[in-house]
Structures are given as C-alpha cells and as structure tokens.
Structure 1
Amino acid sequence: MPAEIHHQHRDVTGGWLRPAVFGAMDGLVSNFALIAGVAGGQASRQVVLLAGLAGLVAGAFSMAAGEYVSVASQSELAEAEIEVERRELARHPSAEQAELAGLYVERGVDPELAAEVARQLSRDPDQALKVHARAELGVTPDDLPSPLLAAVSSLLSFAVGAVLPVLPYAFGAASLWPAAVIAAVGLFAAGAVVSRLTTRSWWFGGLRQLGFGAAAAGVTYVVGALIGAGGVS
C-alpha cells in the first residue's frame, strides 16, 4: 500500500521568492524615501516626479544586475563543487560509498543498514551524485537557482514597489501626503502578505515593515529639509 500523505509543504527552495519579496520591499521603501528627501528640500512637483522615476529605473536595473550576479556566482560555485564530487565518484567509488554510509551512521542509522543503503544508492552514478550533493553540499544538481529568474523577479518586483509613491505626483499631486498614504498602505500590505509565508501574524509583519519604511523616509525627509533650508543647490 502506498504511504498516505497527510500534509503538503510549500516550496522553500525556489529562486524567485526571496528576490521578489526583497525587490518589492526595497523598491517601495527606497523610492519613497528618495521622494521624501527631495520633497523635504521644497523641490517642485516636476523635480520630485523626475527623481522618483529615475529612482525607479535605476533601482530596478541595479537590483536585477545584483541578483543575477549573486545567484549566478552561487550557482557556479555549487556546480564547481558538484563537479568535484562527480570526479571523486568516478575515481574512488568505494571510498565515496563508504563516506555515504558514514553519513547515514552519523544520522543514527545502524552501520549494517547504512552500508546496504549506500551500496544500493551507489549502483546508479547519477543517483549517487544527487545523494552526495544533497548530503555534503545541501544542493540538488538539477535544481539550482536560476540567475535569470532571480534577476527578472527582482526587476519587476522593485518596479512595482517603486512606482506606488510616484503615482500621486504623476497624476498631479503637489504635496508629499498622498504619496505617504499610498506608501504606508503598500508597506503594511506588503508586510502582511509576506507574513502569510511565515509563522508571523499579519499585523506584526505589516507594522514591522511600515515602521522600517517610515523611519527611512523620515530620515531622508529631514536631510532634504536641512539641505533645502541651507540653500544648497
């Protein structure tokens, strides 16, 4: 009889979730803080709008490039270590089989059973490589994160977050308050949504993200106001 499954797990290894969440948060916080700083310096609506659009474009492509290089470097390192393991399996299969049995023994399996499991798994070189890679490196050879997916996720999510505080100025607003309200709602909603992926309560996640965003915007607004009051051009 097949095993009965009573629960399912969410995918916690995908390459899109972290950059998408981080990108949206960063886009909303950083661009609203930028707009707040420029608005604090008593800049005109056109200047604030230009700053917001420039921050959106520059930040989105910067995030995408950073994520691509970061994930690509991580994947290349993992591939290099996997290749080392592949060579060892080809050159010293008996030693690798004994090493695998030792890993199972360390996890509490009886030595005889561990040796038999390692022997059976080692009959298929591809399966043996996957088992060794997961056990020793914590990765799966055919399921490494995609740099392109991470980059696109970061670019799009940053742009979505960054465009929210720009919208009021794009539609004619001349003060910071409409952008602040939209940014506050977006920050709280984003934090609440992210909390659904964890064990945190929605209100805690929303308030935490709102607090961080408000602090960043408050600091840049004060800096912009001080620079504007000093007459720096």
Structure 2
Amino acid sequence: MRGTETHHSHTRDTPRRITWHTDSMPSDPHPTASSPTSPGPDTSLQPQPPTPQQRRRWRRYLADEQAEGAVYRELAQRKDGEERAILLGLADAEKRHEQHWRNLLGDHAGKPRRGSWRSRLLGQLARRFGGVFVLALAQQAEARSTYDRDDDAPAHMAADERIHGEVVRALATRGRQRLSGTFRAAVFGANDGLVSNLALILGVGASGVSHSYILLAGLSGLLAGALSMGAGEFVSVRSQRELLDAENPSPHAHRAIGDLDVNANELALVYRARGMNETDAHAHAELVLSNYSETTRLAEDIDADKHETLGTAWGAAGSSFAFFASGAIIPLVPYLFGIDGYAAMAVAVSLTGLALCATGAAVGVLSGASPLRRAARQLAIGLGAALATYALGLIFGVTVG
C-alpha cells in the first residue's frame, strides 16, 4: 500500500539510476613507452548519488510500509486460525519492502517518520475497531500503490502490492459475507426512513399546513414505515426459513434408513433426484447405509448452519423497525425542536443529506468502490425523490387552496 504521490519515468530496469562516465578513456589502446604517462585503472565508474527528492520519497515509502505492517499486525491480534496467519504473512511482506527502502537510504534513513494520513487512519481504525471496514480500506490502499510507476521500486515489489490487494480482497469478502444480511437491512432500512420521511415532510410542508400538522405527518410516517418494514422483514425471513425446511431431507426419512433392505432399496434414487449421476448415487447410497447415523448428524448440522445464517424472523423484524425509525427520525429533528417554516425544511434537508452521504460512503467502503462516488449517488437519489415530492406538494397546495 502506498501514498498517492506518483513518480513517473520511462524505464524500470534498476532500483537506482547509474550514470557511467567514460570521458577519461585513453585514445590509444596500446600506449608505448614514449607515450605520456599511462592512465591507471579507470576509477570514475561511480553510481550517481540519490537526489534529495528521491531520499524524501524513499523515507515516505519506508514510513508507509512500517505503518501498514503495523495495521496487519493489529488486525491479526483480533483474528485466529487461518485469517491470523494470512495477516501476519502480509505484515512480514511489508517488512521485506521496508528493508528495500532501508538499503537504498543507507545512512540517510534518519529518524522514523510518520506514514501518510491514510496509513495512520488505517492504524487508528485497526486498533479501535478492526473488522471488514478496515480490510476494505486496506484493499483500496493496496490498489493505490505507485510502485509500478517508480524507477526505484523493483517490478517484483509492484507485483507484490497487486497480490497483497487480492489477498486483502479475499479476506474482506469473508467479512462481507458474514455482514451482508445485517448490513443490507441496516442500509436499506435507514435509507428508506431518510428518503420517505423527508419526502413526506417536504410534501406536506410545501402545501402550506401548520407546524403541528407537519410534525404529526412525520411521526405517522415514521411509525407506518417502521411497522411496514418490520412486518415485511418478518414475513420474508419466515418464508425463507420455511423454504429451507422444505428443501432439507425429512428426519423421518433419515430414521428409516436403518430399516432398509441393504440388497433392495431405492436410496440411490434419492441422490439421483438431487443431481448425482447414477454411479455416484449408488456409491453414496452404499456409504450412507454403512453409517447412516453419522449422515443424520451431518444433515442436522448443515440445517442448523443455514438457519443460523438466516437468523430469526423476530430478530430481523426488530432490526428493520429500528433501522427505518433511526433514519426517519432525522428529518423530524428540526420540527421536534420547534423550528418552523423554510428554516426547518433547510435543516431537515441538510441533516438528511449528511446521513445519506454517510450510508453511501459506508456502502462504498465495504464494496471496495470509491466512497465519494457512492455518497454522491446516494445523495442525488435521495434528494431527487424528496424534491419531486416537494414539487407535488406545491402543486397540490395551490390546487386545494
């Protein structure tokens, strides 16, 4: 992972440029005794010393490598097993890159420097939070490496950074999969609450009604939307669990395996119906018959894992209710504090815009995309819907009036 400053050049053959001076070569390759004093061995072949700009850049690279290695070690402390080993392997790789810049700097390394603000931010986040958000940020930082455009960084180091990015991407993907259900409900619920209630408040406010009517409409919209979201999520999760139950093997069928005639049964047809070819189905059926109790236990474990991943219907309903309400309350804040008129609308739009940017940026970080672009997209969509409703409120207000 590297800072964003770029050093362009057309060649990358060596980590340091070397200029050879040949102006002192003798014109006569075979001087005679009468020739002037023969020159001794040519000692002018010296590498060009690094410029101050190069040294500054190398020190910055060194500081970044040190900071990024510390990030991986911090994350490793929060993990165990394979993920811990992978993160420690990345930290060792950053240490290898550190040594490259130390070798180039030699006695000019100086005192340890602070890394770039991005590296320092990653370190703070890793110490306080860890988790998928930091991995997603680390993935973006690895992708910003400028080693492939810098003569002083060997090609293998630039390639290392690309591979590191893929390693971090894979680790972040694990976290995204574990977080996807809850995060999806949080983002969608909060966004629905933000946009729908802001649109409702602006539409009602544009019609010219009093402050109390706007507040009542906003609170009604909050409760109606949150209850609707909770009920919808309850039905959705309950239906998914019922579908999973329908797909899983019947426990009665598993208990019947022990009573089957080993020489004449249709157990292989079960596995053929599930997609196995005839040979594999017969082999699997023989294995099941030889140890059916273990098969039953394994099937129950798989069933439990699926249900654990899906979660409970009541838990999903409660989360959706809370997420929607947390978003819908934000446009109501100025009205709850007694602000009225266009000032209240302006404050509501500003607060909602900030919240939309925050949720959009969070989605961008988790998806490995640009947080700024995702925030701008979220803001444009949300405010666009709210402004359209405001325009309709103006039209209806004039018509009714």
Same fold (TM over 0.5): yes
- Matched to 1:213, the amino acid is G
- Matched to 1:64, the amino acid is G
Matched-pair contact (CA < 8 Å) for 1:24–1:160: yes
2:107 matched residue in structure 1: none
Matched-pair contact (CA < 8 Å) for 1:31–1:165: yes
Matched-pair contact (CA < 8 Å) for 1:85–1:129: no
Q: CA deviation at 1:195?
A: 2.2
Structure 1 residues 142 and 90: CA distance shift in structure 2, 3 A = farther
- Which 10-residue stretch deviates more, 66-75 or 192-201? 192-201
1:150 matched residue in structure 2: 316
1:81 matched residue in structure 2: 247
1:31 matched residue in structure 2: 197
1:124 to 295, 299, 321: 295
**Distance in 1, Cα, partners of 2:358 & 2:335:** 21
**Distance in 1, Cα, partners of 2:322 & 2:199:** 19
2:386 matched residue in structure 1: 217
1:63 matched residue in structure 2: 229
- Matched to 1:220, the amino acid is T
**Distance in 2, Cα, partners of 1:75 & 1:101:** 20
1:205 matched residue in structure 2: 374
Q: How many residues align?
A: 216
* Superposed CA offset, 1:157-207 (max 9, x none): 111100001001111221211111111111111111122222322112211
- Matched to 1:212, the amino acid is I
Give the TM-score, by structure 2 length. 0.48
* Superposed CA offset, 1:40-71 (max 9, x none): 11222222111111111111111111111111
Structure 1 residues 228 and 208: CA distance shift in structure 2, 3 A = same
1:167 aligns to 2:322 (yes or no)? no
Q: CA deviation at 1:88?
A: 4.5
1:108 matched residue in structure 2: none
Q: Which of the two has higher C-alpha Rg?
A: 2
2:63 matched residue in structure 1: none
Unaligned runs of 5+ in 1: 106-110
* Superposed CA offset, 1:14-52 (max 9, x none): 653322221111000100010110111122222211111
- Matched to 1:126, the amino acid is R
Structure 1 residues 222 and 128: CA distance shift in structure 2, 3 A = same
When the two chains are superposed, the root-mean-square deviation of aligned CA atoms in Å is 3.2
Matched-pair contact (CA < 8 Å) for 2:201–2:217: yes
